[in-house]
Structure 1
Amino acid sequence: MMNRILALFLLTTAPLLAQEPSADRIQKHIEKLASDKMKGRGTGSRENAKAAAYIARHFRKYGLKPLGEDGFYQHFTAKVRRVVVLDSIRKAANVIGFLDNGATHTIVIGAHYDHLGTGNQGSSLAENAQGQIHNGADDNASGVAGLLELAQYYAKNNVKEPYNLLFMAFGAEELGLLGSRHFLNHPTLPLDRLNFMICMDMIGRYDPNRGVGIGGYGTADAWPDVFKGVTADIKFFTDRAGNGGSDNAAFYAKQIPVLFFHTGGHPDYHKPGDDPDKIDAKAEEEILRLEIKLIDNAMKLPKMTFTPVK
């Protein structure tokens, strides 16, 4: 009898547990997106388009609603700021999936999926950068892996949340936040319906001495209440500023509250050495568990009021 009860318990809880953030899945996403075959996911490249298709395929698998202008895709033209090659005008796209809970307001969860390609975009910090593959495992395959894990979690947790969730993989961030700025100038959902934005950029190289930084703490009156009593198996700290770092800055400029998750700089930043084998996937799993706690707390509260950070 006891064995039957245990089997029934495992059967009923397994689907829910399977949707929890997983270090194994995180590592697999990063190894796929940051392999040498992907050639650094430079904006306008075939490999960048493959990365976008990989994300769209998972959004579809999770049952998200396409909210681009072409299915999951929102196409735009990106211009390379520091021209090293002749093709300074490149095709790019955001990948946008919507979890519709029938709510009035929506939370945005985002990460950029582009990187520096083979060193021809002009922002590599390596010597003799041209021709070298910049895999961008931490920057920002780690953030995309987090985006996919959170999309799966919320789409498959069998809970109708009090807010909708908009999952966005931004293109051309490395060229100047072009993807997030394009969305904000051509929104596929009214901006006044957005509650706040969560941004993940470089969350794969956790340093226990530093902890994960969470920027944007000062961008809404409600963030102190959201963080109250929250604990994690990793070290974290907050920073009030919300107008720097990554695509969160574009949302901050539109007076939308933000949180920006980042595990800090390292010697491989914008260099060919940013490879998947240096990722701490278990720590990233814990970062995502922390994010879920914060998002869940925020969803218990009314729509936030933006506060500028002086």
Structure 2
Amino acid sequence: MIKLYIKCTLLTLFSVLSLQGIAQYSNPELVKKHINYLASDKMKGRGTGSKEVFKAADYIEKYFKTLKLQPLGEKGFRQSFDAKVWKVKVSDSIRKADNIIAFLDNGAPLTIVIGAHYDHLGTGHQGSSKDSLGVGKIHNGADDNASGVAGLLELARYYSTNNLKESYNFLFIAFGAEELGLIGSKYFTEHPTLPLDKITGMLNMDMIGRLNPEQGVAVIGYGTSKKWPEIFEGITPKIKFYTGHDGNGGSDQTSFYKKNIPVLFFHTGGHPDYHMPTDDPEKINYSGLTGIIDFEVMVINNMLKQSEKLEFQFTN
């Protein structure tokens, strides 16, 4: 009886651990690798128009190529545009920038957009630093928004390697020049490389790296479709979350909301290192970040249980 009890207990424990393993969609080592690269001092804060932000774009494009995703920019994976620095007077006020756009074709009529911006404040010369003495200091932007890009790349990896032909296609977009006023996402929605009426919804990640376990992650845009509450039914992530109704907000989902597209915006909130030179990789809550990515997979998987277009509704 004792041997049988031990055997049953071990089987039960194995089953629980197996279920927990199944729920782990993200790869913590890859998440950390992406953030450590994008938010290293060598990248000098990824300011719009800098050679370092173009290195970040190269890194993202190379990763999309590794995943064998289709380019859907205007020239390969790139959609180039001019971005104006308007918050401060600088000599190079017009700067070149790129959106990096990759497509996962499942042969479906509709597409889910997943996005995150990859630019940050550089060395503080383009404005927006919260440090009064921050000009000339590297603003690494580990949370803002290397964390979101890590999430974007992980979702691209998961859905391009799971060997499933899903009921929606995916469009993965790394936006440029968000810090200058959502310029990259605005440019895409005004010059879409995929017709906007083929997009069923847009999920955006911006600052998802500093989860407070007691507070949870905010999911903003919950009111932009009547379908979102139904899609969230039955989801039990390892992390807490709470919802916000409005589709507008200080990140790239706003550009899609203004085009009558349902949106969700994942965000772990402000903190003392926001727009400061101290937003560094070692301050990221990596277990919380991977928990958010896994949560997003659960949301997307529930979206994939249907194939119709999500009905849009205004929230104001």
Amino acid aligned to 1:286:
G
Amino-acid identity (%): 61
2 CA distance for matches of 1:298 and 1:102? 16
More displaced stretch, 174-183 vs 236-245: 236-245
Q: Does 1:175 pair with 2:159? A: no
Q: Does 1:230 pair with 2:242? A: no
Amino acid aligned to 1:187:
P
More displaced stretch, 132-141 vs 277-286: 277-286
CA RMSD of aligned residues (A): 1.3
Alignment-derived partner of residue 198 in structure 2: 193
- Offset at residue 45 of structure 1 (A): 0.2
Alignment-derived partner of residue 11 in structure 2: none
Q: Does 1:305 pair with 2:311? A: yes
- Offset at residue 83 of structure 1 (A): 2.4
Alignment-derived partner of residue 252 in structure 1: 257
SS in 2 for 1:303: coil
Q: Given the alignment, which residue of 61, 64, 75 partners 1:59?
A: 64
Please report the TM-score for the alignment, with normalisation by the length of structure 2: 0.92
1:13-28 → structure 2 map (5 Å cutoff):
20-28=25-33
Amino acid aligned to 2:39:
A
1:161-218 residue CA offsets vs partner (Å, 9 max, x unmatched): 0100000000000000000000010000000000000000000001012100000000
Alignment-derived partner of residue 220 in structure 1: 225
**Post-superposition, which runs of at least 4 consecutive aligned residues in structure 1 deviate over 4 A?**
none
- Offset at residue 20 of structure 1 (A): 3.0
1 CA distance for matches of 2:78 and 2:161? 22
Alignment-derived partner of residue 118 in structure 1: 123
Q: Given the alignment, which residue of 276, 281, 297 partners 1:276?
A: 281
Q: Given the alignment, which residue of 141, 160, 163 partners 1:136?
A: 141
Q: Given the alignment, which residue of 65, 76, 83 partners 2:81?
A: 76
Q: Does 1:211 pair with 2:216? A: yes
1 CA distance for matches of 2:96 and 2:150? 23
Q: Given the alignment, which residue of 83, 98, 102 partners 2:103?
A: 98
- Answer whether contact 1:84 1:122 (CA < 8 A) is retained: no
Gaps spanning 5+ residues in structure 1: where? 1-12
1 CA distance for matches of 2:286 and 2:213? 14
- Offset at residue 245 of structure 1 (A): 2.6
- Offset at residue 84 of structure 1 (A): 3.6
Aligned length: 295
Amino acid aligned to 2:38:
L
Alignment-derived partner of residue 37 in structure 2: 32
2 CA distance for matches of 1:232 and 1:270? 29
Q: Given the alignment, which residue of 230, 240, 250 partners 2:245?
A: 240
SS in 2 for 1:107: strand
SS in 1 for 2:95: strand
- Answer whether contact 2:25 2:297 (CA < 8 A) is retained: no
Gaps spanning 5+ residues in structure 2: where? 1-17
Amino acid aligned to 1:74:
Q
- Offset at residue 23 of structure 1 (A): 1.4
1:59-116 residue CA offsets vs partner (Å, 9 max, x unmatched): 0000100000111000000001112421100000000000000110000000000000
- Answer whether contact 1:84 1:120 (CA < 8 A) is retained: no
Amino acid aligned to 1:68:
G
1:287-302 → structure 2 map (5 Å cutoff):
287-301=292-306, 302=308
Q: Does 1:153 pair with 2:158? A: yes
1:224-246 residue CA offsets vs partner (Å, 9 max, x unmatched): 10011111111111111111130
Please report the TM-score for the alignment, with normalisation by the length of structure 1: 0.93
